Amino acid sequence: MNLSSPMSSEASWPSEETDWEDDLEVMDIAEKKDGTSDQEDSMASLSLATDLASWASQFEVKNNAVDHLLKILQKHGHTDLPSSARTLLKTQRKISTMQKCGMEYLHYPLRQQLLDKLDKYPVEEILDHDTINLSFNVDGLPLFKSSSKVMWPVLCAVHLKPIIVFPATLTCGNKKPTDLTFLDDVIADLNDLMSHGLQYKERNFPINVLCIVCDAPVKAFTRGTKLCSGYYGCDKCDQKETLEVLLRKVDSLAATQREILILLRTRQGHQRAEDLLELSVAQSKEELEALDQSLKDSDFRKRVIHHLSLIGGANPGDCVRRVMRVVATNIVWSHFSLKGKREKLPLIDTTLCKVIKHAVMKCKSDLGEKDVECYIAETLKHVPAQLKKHVQDRLPVPAELE
């Protein structure tokens, strides 16, 4: 009976168990290596994402450029990177705002903003300056063509090389701010900085405001004054005048300029007979009819056409109004219409109308007779309304300006 076989098989069992345990150990080591490798890859990807975010923030790279770079990196094996710059930079989706002056309001503390921006400059550039100069800008910014949504940012510029601009306050709504309370926080921060300076790199830098940049409407709004085009809107003087006095001064200046022009031409030997024409403004229908009779003389008519063509205007309508104002007063023109409608006298058949048309066409060469007639008709149409307004707004004129 052969007993060696079972004994040999039993003797071989420990060897098989040992091999199996060795295989398990090898598998555990391999799994640990794989786990370590995945962890290292994840950490490497996280480190790369952090570096990319710092790079994009430091050099202010546009989001669309960062998006394109992330897609390229994903294509070449960095699949753990995010696909969007907003995810990479961890841009906040919701920002808490407050209501102020009828709009949504967000304020960035000016001192902290300045410290963050100064970190982007070389230390030598900052230490070469004894004072940090700032400038500010306030303006309205429409966001969309199809919506009334508008933003009113308060921007601050640091005048180092290069100049960095950043928002100090953002205000957004469907119309402009109802008051100036959106400037309170910026003013408070600026007062604090100008009083105590800015502590940076163990130095205290004085803060100086170079200027505050605004266009004319925003300047009037922020200062609480009238526009420059309004009555008493000049911020250089405190002199108050009525509209009539202002118009008289303008006419006086125009006459003075005309006299200076004639004098200069006389001195230079270029004086012409046409420039010496003295055409008085007709104060009544009789004076206008007398002028119309005088215009039948061809030489006088040419001189009047030349004289009136020198008056000019910003546009054709303005040119016609200025020429007619030189010829007669509005009271006289109120008796006329172009074709005699509404029981008024017709102007179109008079020699004076032809003279006015030729003078305007000489000044505005791109106009035809029909175009000038339309402007004359429109001017005569609005004369009664101007007279009525003139009577309502009329105020006593100082004796020295009479």
Looking at the domain assignment, is residue 46 inside a domain?
yes
Q: Is the residue at 5 inside a domain?
A: no
Band (22; pLDDT cuts 50, 70, 90): low
Q: Running DSSP on this structure, what letter comes out for residue 165? A: E
Q: Say whether pLDDT at 398 is over 70.
A: no
Question: What total of structural domains would you count in the chain?
Answer: 3
In a domain? residue 237: no
pTM over 0.85: no
Within a domain: residue 4?
A: no
Omega cis (within 30) before 162: yes
Query: Among residues of the chain, what percentage have pLDDT more than 70?
Result: 78
- Burial pattern 76-95, b for ≥16 Cβ within 10 A else e, equals eebeebbeebeebbeeeeee
Q: Are residues 203 and 343 in the same domain?
A: no
Range of the domain at 198: 98-223
Phi/psi-derived region of residue 179, left when phi > 0, alpha when psi is between -120 and 50, beta in every other case? beta
**How many CA atoms, within 13 angstroms, populate the side-chain half-sphere of residue 249?**
10
Q: Would you place residue 160 in the very low, low, confident or very high pLDDT band (cuts 50, 70, 90)?
A: very high
Q: What is the CA radius of gyration of the chain?
A: 42
Contacts of 347 (CB under 8 A, 6+ apart): 336, 337, 338, 340, 353, 376, 380
- Nearest-angstrom CA–CA distance, 177 and 173: 8
Q: Kindly state whether residue 12 falls inside one of the protein's structural domains.
A: no
Residue 58 sits in the same domain as residue 106: no
pLDDT the model gives residue 190: 94
Residue 7 lies in a domain: no
Q: Are residues 183 and 207 in the same domain?
A: yes
Residues 190 and 275 in one domain: no
Residues 191 and 247 grouped into a single domain: no
